[in-house]
Chain A
Amino acid sequence: MMAQIQKNNDRLDLAPKKFNMWIFIFTSFMFFAALTSGFIVYSGGRGHGLNVIMPSAFLYSTIIIAISSGTLFLAQKAAKGLQFSKQRMFLWITFILGVAFFINQVYAWYVLTYRMNVYLTDTNASRSFVYIFTGMHLVHIIAAILLLLNTLRGTYKNIPQVRNLFKMEMTSIFWHFLGIIWIYLYVFLLLNQN
């Protein structure tokens, strides 16, 4: 009997790997928490407010990333229901939305720099922080897009369903987290824009 239990223990166990992703999310959260705390210490200590009304591009980004979370959710639902072509389609849509988010954020930088005269090398570092927040978030987005592409590749290679679901879950955890982080950053900036 004991041997039976032990054997079960020795099977391919993906739970610890999924747990790794959760811990990584914690580290990533701490990173953004540190950056935003840095902003508070800076703007509070030096009396440098942001004094910039956030460009509307950020609002569109928020909408895009929210929709992409929805499509990824649908992809996962399709994967669970063994509808692989549907899963693939929603993954592609999520990928396109991810890229659109990226482009839109870069466009927001363009708006900030050329239309609003808010620079990365501003003497008011509160404004530089806007670029750091979005830039560091975009670095994470690149990683998430690579992860998404890896999952997408899996759907073409006919991998075992366990693996497919595992990849989907890993991608989803990270992707939804990045959506939440973006909303956090955006709300943070909105609250501090005056």
Chain B
Amino acid sequence: MSTLAVHDHGVAHHDDHGHEHHHNQSFLSKYVFSMDHKMIAKQFLITGITMAVIAMILSILFRIQLAYPDKTFPLLTTLLGRFAPNGRISADFYLSLVTIHGTIMVFFVLTAGLSGTFANLLIPLQVGARDMASPFMNMLSYWFFFMASVVMLSSFLVQKGPASGGWTIYPPLSALPKAMPGSGEGMTLWLISMVMFVASSLMGGINYVSTVLNMRTKGMDLWKMPLTIWALFLTAILGVLAFPVLVAGVVLLIFDRSFGTSFYLSDIVLNGVQQPFEGGSPILFQHLFWFLGHPEVYIVIMPAMGISSEIMSVNSRKPIFGYHAMVYSLVGITVLSFIVWGHHMFVTGMNPFLGGVFMITTLIIAVPSAVKTFNWLATLWRGNIRFTPAMLFAIGMVSFFISGGLTGIFLGNAALDINLHDTYFVVAHFHLVMGSAAIFGMLAGVYHWFPKMFGRMMDEKLGYLHFWLTFIGAYLVFFPMHFMGLDGVPRRYYAFTEFVSMQRWLTVNTFITWAAIMAACAQVAFLYNFITSIFIGKKATQNPWESNTLEWTTPVEHLHGNWPGEIPTVYRWPYDYSKPGAEEDYIPQTVPFSQTMSSNQAHDFEDNPKGLEELNKFTSTLKANEQVK
């Protein structure tokens, strides 16, 4: 097999590289302050999963409040103490729960947990590099992320509780420490945590971009890169350009909070006392925030898209449909994401003409998104589909992306948004299109690359159970929210008991809560599967999915430097699945065309006249032989 051929090279020229990595590393340098991208990927993944579980528990807590606003649960007081007096979650703590749930999910799970895991694992392995451009910076990136996580969670320990102004931390709530309990120390910790998070994100992103551009192996030109790499590369570019803008916004916010400036504050009366702030503009913060915030949602979804593309191609045993279109649509999304931020601000008194401009740019995003969706479906079409858990999650990702994306067209409309803004319609939209879709992409990646990370397989049956319960659960949770939103039920409200027109939605809220509890229980199946498989899972073979990409040419046993001998050379694109005339239904990227004469096509040699000549010679000989027969 071709993979073996690569290793033969390695043995023949066993150069100095293999040796240095076998020196015994200390526990600290191997598991804690590791500079090996594969270990860092695992660190990101496990921290990300931990944060996801915490954020999920927070969501169940506030779902309980929404379903049973009048009931008391003494257990809550036991668990949460002062945050849930008399068996009910307090209104302030409810807002904290919503805020921290959003923050953790968007940043800590779907940005760091997703990009951090898969960019670290896959970029060096799939482009053929020994490690990242700067392994040291990579290590710092993880530890900044870890510190950010600890600081964010530590805000539950301060007297007045965590930040509670929403994950978008709009001033003036976030700028005035006395505005509400969560605006005090909780908000300070939130800001400290996010500054560390951005530092982590930038260090990671800089490394990813540099590695993809500079450290690809011989033969790996940009158009031979798997879509995972394209997606992670463009995601990193988005992060590198967008996060500094958030920092700029946060710097001004910190000056308003702590140094008495008035960038965002004006005409504030607090507890009946006129505050000295004058002339500031809270809308300025929204501009700076959403200039990051909108690219951020693509930072969340694009890795999931790349992962799903790869997994769907592998498990359909078909080339991805429209590889170039897939790349160009990712590029299109990347560029467009910087000129749509105003659609979050239609109702801020924005000039309607400007709103129209943002509406048009927003709706144009439907084009690359639809191209991608069409290509995924066309990849599945008449495929020889293998329904592995990873494949199911990848298909689930497409499902959520479609059903959540459709409502994006409603919300991107400046006129409709007047009605839908800040309602549960928005909650339904983004939980499907970037929440569930991105989580499914991440889970697909975990199931697919688990053998690469831990050398063992995950249990398939538990995987199926996990998929179906989560898939159904997510739809049951988020689909009814559309109708609540259309009826004008606002998001982030503590209870709807005071509003006569909204009381009828209480039964729906109860239903949603139970669906959420079911989906949360399903994650226990995943956690059990994940943890036990690390230790007692079935041992993985080198290439368990019969996949073409480079990471499956590395030995199962990890070594720093990835390949024991030389780095393999790449000869072809990564999607030669079920190629007519080939012996097997996959041809790894490391197999030269000279070894696959029977399956070569004229279009394989578009920029290679010599190869084309050889092919013509081969086919004419073949024809001549046929005629003799």
Taking Cβ atoms with an 8 Å cutoff, the residues of A that contact B are 2-3, 5-7, 9-10, 13, 15-17, 19-20, 23-24, 26-28, 30-35, 37-38, 41-42, 45-46, 48, 120-125, 128-129, 132, 136
B206 near A27 with CB under 8 A, answer yes
26 A-B residue pairings within 8 Å (CB atoms): A2-B566, A2-B569, A3-B15, A3-B566, A6-B218, A7-B566, A10-B17, A10-B567, A13-B214, A16-B134, A16-B210, A17-B134, A17-B210, A20-B134, A27-B206, A27-B240, A33-B245, A34-B245, A34-B247, A34-B288, A38-B287, A38-B288, A120-B261, A122-B262, A132-B251, A132-B255
Which A residues are CB-close (under 8 A) to B205? 23
Report Cα–Cα, A15/B207, bound state, in Å.
12
| Seed contacts A9-B217, A34-B247, A132-B251; 18 additional CB < 8 Å A-B pairs | A2-B218, A2-B569, A6-B567, A7-B15, A9-B567, A10-B566, A16-B215, A19-B214, A31-B247, A35-B252, A41-B281, A41-B287, A45-B281, A120-B255, A121-B261, A125-B280, A128-B263, A132-B252
CB closest residue in chain A, given B243: A27
0/1 per residue, B207-224, Cβ < 8 Å to A? Answer: 101110111011000000
Q: Is the interface of B mostly helix, strand, loop or mixed?
A: helix
0/1 per residue, B228-260, Cβ < 8 Å to A? Answer: 000000000000111111011101100100011
Which A residues are CB-close (under 8 A) to B330? none
Which B residues are CB-close (under 8 A) to A35? 248, 251-252
Nearest Cβ on chain A to B295's Cβ, whole angstroms: 11
Taking Cβ atoms with an 8 Å cutoff, the residues of B that contact A are 9, 12-13, 15, 17, 130, 133-134, 137, 202, 205-207, 209-211, 213-215, 217-218, 240-245, 247-249, 251-252, 255, 259-263, 276-281, 283-284, 287-288, 291, 566-567, 569
Q: Is the interface of A mostly helix, strand, loop or mixed?
A: helix
Contact of B244 among A10, A30, A132 (CB under 8 A): A30
A28 near B244 with CB under 8 A, answer yes
Report Cα–Cα, A33/B247, bound state, in Å.
12
Contact of B260 among A5, A10, A16, A121 (CB under 8 A): A121
Contact of B206 among A5, A6, A20, A136 (CB under 8 A): A20
Find the residue from A20, A24, A33 having the highest chain B CB count within 10 A. Answer: A20
Contact of B262 among A20, A45, A121 (CB under 8 A): A121
CB closest residue in chain B, given A14: B133
Given contacts A3-B566, A19-B133, A27-B240, contact A42 B284 (CB under 8 A): yes
Find the residue from A2, A3, A16, A121 having the highest chain B CB count within 10 A. Answer: A16
Nearest Cβ on chain A to B238's Cβ, whole angstroms: 11
Report Cα–Cα, A65/B125, bound state, in Å.
43
Which A residues are CB-close (under 8 A) to B567? 6, 9-10
Which A residues are CB-close (under 8 A) to B261? 120-122, 125, 128
Report Cα–Cα, A9/B567, bound state, in Å.
9
Nearest Cβ on chain A to B179's Cβ, whole angstroms: 19
Which B residues are CB-close (under 8 A) to A10? 15, 17, 130, 566-567
Which B residues are CB-close (under 8 A) to A120? 255, 259-261
Report Cα–Cα, A125/B266, bound state, in Å.
11
Given contacts A7-B566, A16-B215, A123-B278, contact A27 B283 (CB under 8 A): no
Nearest Cβ on chain A to B272's Cβ, whole angstroms: 21
Nearest Cβ on chain B to A2's Cβ, whole angstroms: 7
CB closest residue in chain A, given B216: A9
Which A residues are CB-close (under 8 A) to B247? 31, 34
Report Cα–Cα, A45/B285, bound state, in Å.
13
Which B residues are CB-close (under 8 A) to A16? 133-134, 210-211, 214-215
Nearest Cβ on chain B to A163's Cβ, whole angstroms: 15
CB closest residue in chain B, given A31: B244
Contact of B9 among A3, A26, A48, A125 (CB under 8 A): A3
Which B residues are CB-close (under 8 A) to A19? 133, 210, 213-214
A23 near B214 with CB under 8 A, answer no
Report Cα–Cα, A28/B249, bound state, in Å.
14
Which A residues are CB-close (under 8 A) to B569? 2, 6
Nearest Cβ on chain A to B140's Cβ, whole angstroms: 12
Report Cα–Cα, A132/B262, bound state, in Å.
12
Given contacts A26-B240, A34-B249, contact A20 B280 (CB under 8 A): no
Nearest Cβ on chain A to B237's Cβ, whole angstroms: 9
Nearest Cβ on chain B to A173's Cβ, whole angstroms: 14
Given contacts A46-B281, A125-B280, contact A27 B133 (CB under 8 A): no
Which A residues are CB-close (under 8 A) to B279? 46, 48, 123-125
B259 near A121 with CB under 8 A, answer yes
Report Cα–Cα, A27/B238, bound state, in Å.
10
Nearest Cβ on chain A to B543's Cβ, whole angstroms: 22
A38 near B218 with CB under 8 A, answer no
Report Cα–Cα, A48/B569, bound state, in Å.
61
**Which 5 pairs between the two chains have the least Cβ-Cβ distance?**
A16-B133, A34-B248, A6-B566, A31-B244, A123-B278
A30 near B245 with CB under 8 A, answer yes
Which B residues are CB-close (under 8 A) to A5? 218
A27 near B259 with CB under 8 A, answer no
A31 near B215 with CB under 8 A, answer no
Which B residues are CB-close (under 8 A) to A38? 248-249, 252, 263, 284, 287-288
B280 near A34 with CB under 8 A, answer no
CB closest residue in chain A, given B278: A123
CB closest residue in chain A, given B264: A125
Nearest Cβ on chain A to B318's Cβ, whole angstroms: 31
Report Cα–Cα, A51/B211, bound state, in Å.
47
B240 near A45 with CB under 8 A, answer no
CB closest residue in chain A, given B209: A23
Report Cα–Cα, A128/B265, bound state, in Å.
13
Report Cα–Cα, A34/B291, bound state, in Å.
9
Which A residues are CB-close (under 8 A) to B245? 30-31, 33-34
CB closest residue in chain B, given A4: B13
Which A residues are CB-close (under 8 A) to B277? 123
Report Cα–Cα, A26/B240, bound state, in Å.
8
Which B residues are CB-close (under 8 A) to A6? 13, 218, 566-567, 569
Which B residues are CB-close (under 8 A) to A32? 248
Given contacts A2-B9, A5-B218, contact A27 B209 (CB under 8 A): no
Which A residues are CB-close (under 8 A) to B15? 3, 7, 10
Report Cα–Cα, A158/B218, bound state, in Å.
35
Nearest Cβ on chain B to A147's Cβ, whole angstroms: 14
Which A residues are CB-close (under 8 A) to B281? 41-42, 45-46
A23 near B262 with CB under 8 A, answer no
A125 near B263 with CB under 8 A, answer yes
Report Cα–Cα, A41/B15, bound state, in Å.
59
Report Cα–Cα, A9/B12, bound state, in Å.
17
CB closest residue in chain A, given B279: A123
CB closest residue in chain B, given A32: B248
Which B residues are CB-close (under 8 A) to A132? 251-252, 255
Report Cα–Cα, A79/B209, bound state, in Å.
30
Which A residues are CB-close (under 8 A) to B133? 16-17, 19-20
Nearest Cβ on chain B to A174's Cβ, whole angstroms: 14
CB closest residue in chain B, given A45: B281
CB closest residue in chain B, given A19: B210
Report Cα–Cα, A47/B312, bound state, in Å.
54
Contact of A24 among B206, B243, B259 (CB under 8 A): B206
Contact of B210 among A20, A28, A129 (CB under 8 A): A20
Report Cα–Cα, A37/B134, bound state, in Å.
32
Which A residues are CB-close (under 8 A) to B218? 2, 5-6, 9
CB closest residue in chain A, given B12: A3
